[in-house]
Copies of this chain bind each other. A is one copy, B any other.
Amino acid sequence: MPHNDRPATLRDVAAAAGVHPATASRALNPGTKLLVSEETAQRVAEAAERLGYRPNPVARSLRTRRSHTIGVLIPDLNNPLFPPIVRGLEDRLAKHGYVALIGNTDLDTTREQMVFDQMRARHVDGFVLATATLHNPILAEAAEADLPVVLMNRTAQGYPFSSVSVDNEQGERAAVDHLASLGHTRIGHIAGPQDVSTGVARLRGFFDGMDGHGLTVDDAQVVTATGYSIEEGLRCGRELLETNRDLTAIVAANDLLAVGCYGALDELGLRCPEDMSVIGFNDMPFIDRLRPPLSTVRFPHYKLGTEAADLLLERIEDADSPVKILYLAPELVARGSTVPLAATTSADDGRDDESRLAANTVPLRRGVARRKR
């Protein structure tokens, strides 16, 4: 009979090799293998092989209090930004015998808490959090319970958590530099939500960049989204365009916002890039397939995942390992959505006479440039 229906257990292996289960255990575990004689180790290994022995991770977990499972909290897997990151995480974790439990929070606090609790109940060995808003109860909870945590694309001051994220400030500065180098001076910004660190940092990068080129920024030139979504991009794009009739370029804090902005341009009969240059952030998959292909600031998604995994594993293996704040450098990707000012239809040229803009536009107020805080 080649195949017993009950899977072979350590006892079976021990019996087959004529040793005590404890010895078999030692022989099979790399860490304790050296405690056992070469010869018996061999015998046990053969027996295990022959019986098709697979250690039962559940039993092992119960004993070692290690589940080899990592909880990963992300806003929404449907956001194309995350799949590559998650793959990076999973691939790297798998290499070390860990698996990831993915939890979608939809940025809903109660849902997030639920998922978090669920995962704690399942005794995950650590967490990767990509959802943390700046002041988040689960951060405190995790800190108090001394859980290994790595923040992804988020930073949180005041907690002893490692994090890996993009240098958002530098990235957005590069976006402004790019537009400025194309000759644009009247540049609007669709800012990300200000309760997450990326939104704050990118806004700061925008101001910095403008400042660096001696460009002033009117209050009305910045519209803040309440979330990173196409809908918010549409809303903010509308507002921005209606309030600022002389813009020639828009920096969106994220690709989805930029996509929404495309829609706003469409509505107003404006074309990108002929009438308006637009640049996003993230270089989401497929964003290069839009028409026009979106210029954006790329960061290495997959690598973000692998680095986060490394940081977390490090922390799990050694609870005293130092907290590390890792920034990955972003990279500007110029595509068809940004063109030189010279190639841009002058803001005064074709707009007014075609009265494409809504009637309730307000006169442009020129204020003092807001500075980096």
Binding site for B on A (CB under 8 A): 3, 54-59, 61-62, 67, 76-78, 80, 83-84, 86-87, 90-91, 94, 99-102, 104, 118, 120-123, 144, 259, 262, 285-286, 289-291
Contacts and interface: CB of A to CB of B under 8 A. Distances in A.
Q: How many copies does the complex hold?
A: 2
A83 B77 CA distance: 6
Contact of A121 (B57, B100, B144, B289): B57
A118 B286 CA distance: 32
Nearest to A54: B121
B84 A123 contact: no
Contact of A291 (B62, B78, B291): B291
Contact of A123 (B57, B99, B118): B57
10 contacts: A57-B121, A58-B61, A58-B123, A62-B62, A76-B87, A78-B84, A90-B104, A99-B101, A99-B118, A262-B289
A144 to B, nearest CB: 8
A99 B76 CA distance: 16
A197 to B, nearest CB: 24
A300 to B, nearest CB: 14
A120 B67 contact: no
A285 to B, nearest CB: 7
B285 A80 contact: yes
Contacts of A61: 58
A101 B142 CA distance: 23
A57 B122 contact: yes
Given A58-B67, A62-B58, A291-B291, A87 B80 contact: no
Contact of A104 (B67, B87, B285): B87
Contacts of A83: 77-78, 80, 83
Please name the 5 residue pairs, one residue from A and one from B, whose CB atoms are nearest each other, closest first.
A291-B291, A77-B83, A58-B61, A78-B83, A54-B121
A234 to B, nearest CB: 12
Nearest to A259: B289
Contacts of A57: 121-123
Nearest to A122: B57
Given A90-B104, A290-B291, A54 B120 contact: yes
A73 to B, nearest CB: 13
Contacts of A102: 90, 100, 102
